[in-house]
Chains A and B, each alone.
Chain A
């Protein structure tokens, strides 16, 4: 079954089942999830990681079934299985589940597979790492059987990360539904156009179109998308934004607002991890060399090349208000996905944190690591060398954000003062 995302170029989104999707890699996915898991002693993190995915899976498939005219159960299950693989989450079969629930297992699931390929098993007593897929499939089952949101309970009963041979989830009907909300779908979206500066010959819109045409497809067997030396997913953008905001709200409620800087640091660091690994891999890929590099005359031009990539991977549009240079610059976001999701609900954050880490990380890649002029090894040693050693090479803060009541998201990147 062919599953295609619908690019919306004026929003910089990739839409499927009414949900904007963003491309991220397993580095970011794991770091982001681990940041949340670290708070498990303060509140039940499943209520954020699993429930948010359930809300989105439910909304996505209700919408998609309607779009596709999928009314019978077999057709709906086939749609879910195909979308699950198309997005790079892995391979599942829903053959054995009914409206009352059942078990689903697979040897291939993004989080579990990349974890198990890397580490020894998690300690006994810990749960598996496949929170997202658990909630996503619970929401999908509700949509398949026209059940109300929150009526399907779930638990993960086996995981590659625990040394099991498969990932397994158990789904079951609940007497009292979970307190879930429908996904905001395209949320408080913004629209705009590619900003093409006159002083560069980098064809930003052309690059966007070329990246949109890249075949970032899952492996036939595994349903995992390996590209640029990383393992990618197309994840609903609302997941990251809503999880971030809900995590901050829950932990502040449990511990107090004093904890916020620690939580923000971790979410910002997730953005660094994303910049270093996802963007770093893209900037050193054969595809970048073929499609973008011929137009790059200076380090500054690398930012314009990335401005073409952003909307093609669902990250919205960016406009550099100053010519990017080694001292920093200002970046305006149009339809940044975190903001768009968070602003559509009741929220506690006053700016989107991952954007800060992402952009300061990109600056560090281009000017500190000097990636335009040398290839770098994307490992922990390099990360420490270029991203943090006595001083952070760049820091970013929002001059103002839509989440703080401003009409736009405007970020400043700068060289920070030396630490003691």
Chain B
């Protein structure tokens, strides 16, 4: 039934295909970033809202508020990130793992862009 498919997108699910809803195979690589890496957050944000759920980003941030604030990042900045915003690799790891926890979806490596 369609309502089951819909609700399935809201919660963690072991049944989920490891292929993203956008059809990209994101299975094989688990992204691990070092704390020294800097990550451009906008591509990650755009991928999440397009492929997980329109408000998946807000749910992720809600779960990680203390970690975001600990990095001295203002919530209003990370809620609607701009193209020049970067975050530490450790925080990116946390956001990606929270996405996995909430939606059972892995982010394709190309989405997590390191900046030099």
Contact = CB atoms under 8 A, between A and B. Distances in A.
Q: Which of A120, A269, A380 has the most CB of B within 10 A?
A: A380
B102 to A, nearest CB: 8
A120 B13 CA distance: 7
Interface stretch (B24-32, B33-41, B59-67, B86-94): B59-67
A378 B59 contact: no
Contact of A34 (B5, B6, B11, B15): B11
A64 interface: no
Contact of A258 (B6, B15, B49, B76): B76
B50 A389 contact: yes
A255 B58 CA distance: 15
Given A38-B63, A259-B65, A380 B5 contact: yes
A269 B54 contact: yes
A123 B55 CA distance: 23
B82 interface: yes
B83 interface: yes
Given A38-B59, A41-B63, A378 B6 contact: yes
A38 B50 contact: no
Q: Which of B1, B61, B65, B83 has the most CB of A within 10 A?
A: B65
Contact of A380 (B6, B15, B79): B6
A379 B2 contact: yes
B7 interface: yes
B4 interface: yes
A420 B45 CA distance: 12
Contacts of B55: 265-266, 269
A55 B5 CA distance: 34
Nearest to A420: B83
B62 A277 contact: no
A27 B63 contact: no
A389 to B, nearest CB: 6
Contacts of A42: 65
Contact of A39 (B10, B54, B62, B69): B62
B109 to A, nearest CB: 22
A53 to B, nearest CB: 21
A2 interface: no
A169 interface: no
Contacts of A38: 59, 62-63
A266 B4 CA distance: 21
A265 B59 CA distance: 9
B29 to A, nearest CB: 24
B21 A380 contact: yes
B9 interface: yes
A212 B8 CA distance: 32
A262 B75 contact: yes
A390 B50 CA distance: 7
A387 interface: yes
A27 B58 contact: no
Contact of A118 (B8, B49, B53, B75): B8
A26 B66 CA distance: 31
A387 B7 contact: no
B74 interface: yes
B13 A119 contact: yes
Contacts of B54: 269, 272, 383-384, 387-388, 392
Q: Which of B4, B7, B9 has the most CB of A within 10 A?
A: B7
B21 A262 contact: no
A286 B113 CA distance: 49
A255 B65 contact: yes
A34 B63 contact: no
A262 B6 contact: no
14 contacts: A34-B10, A34-B11, A230-B3, A259-B65, A259-B75, A261-B76, A262-B61, A262-B65, A277-B3, A277-B6, A380-B5, A380-B53, A383-B6, A388-B50
Interface of B: 1-15, 21, 42, 49-50, 53-55, 58-59, 61-63, 65-66, 69, 74-76, 79, 82-83
Given A230-B3, A266-B58, 11 more contacts: A30-B7, A34-B10, A42-B65, A119-B15, A231-B3, A258-B74, A258-B76, A265-B55, A269-B55, A379-B2, A420-B42
